Amino acid sequence: MPRWLGLAGLLPQIAVAAVVLSGDTAHRFNALALGYAYAAIILSFLGGIWWGIGASHANPPEWLWVAAVTPSLIALASAVPWALGDPWPGPSLLVLGVALIAALAVDIALNRRKLTPPWWMGLRLPLSLGLGGLTLLLGLF
């Protein structure tokens, strides 16, 4: 179930990429804004998952608590250009795309410490690369 639901979680970003790459200029900005919001939400969700992993173990590594709050802070910081009227959403999408892919480092570390289920990396690898890659693609267009 987690694999199918996780992979289904790529569908919103795939739909956004389809609109952007179609050349539909009337809906381009709206699609990019939705793609940005989705990437920011999922990045924050990852932090919540890591917090839950830490809370479910007696002695989680201390760095995990910092890692768990960092995604939400990155997501918030990536909205600052939009709030200030600076170029947006391209640079912010690039930041989120890189952060989603970089999140694999935390997942790998948790997996090596045996803090995640055996299927964890089989799910996290395609999801981080998929959503991160799609978000980077949006940031470039």
DSSP letters, 73-93, are HHHHHTTHHHHHT-S-SHHHH
Residue-level pLDDT at 86: 82
Give the chain's domain count: 1
Residue ranges in the chain whose pLDDT is less than 70: none
Q: What is the pLDDT of residue 1?
A: 85
What digits encode the pLDDT tens for the residues 55-81? Answer: 999 999 999 999 999 999 999 999 999
CA-CA distance, 88 to 22, in Å (whole number)? 20
pLDDT at site 13 = 96
**pLDDT score at 96:** 97
The residues near 116 (Cβ < 8 Å, ≥ 6 apart) are: 53, 107, 110
Q: Quote the pLDDT of residue 75.
A: 97
CB 42 within 8 A of CB 93: no
Q: State which residues form the domain around 20.
A: 2-140
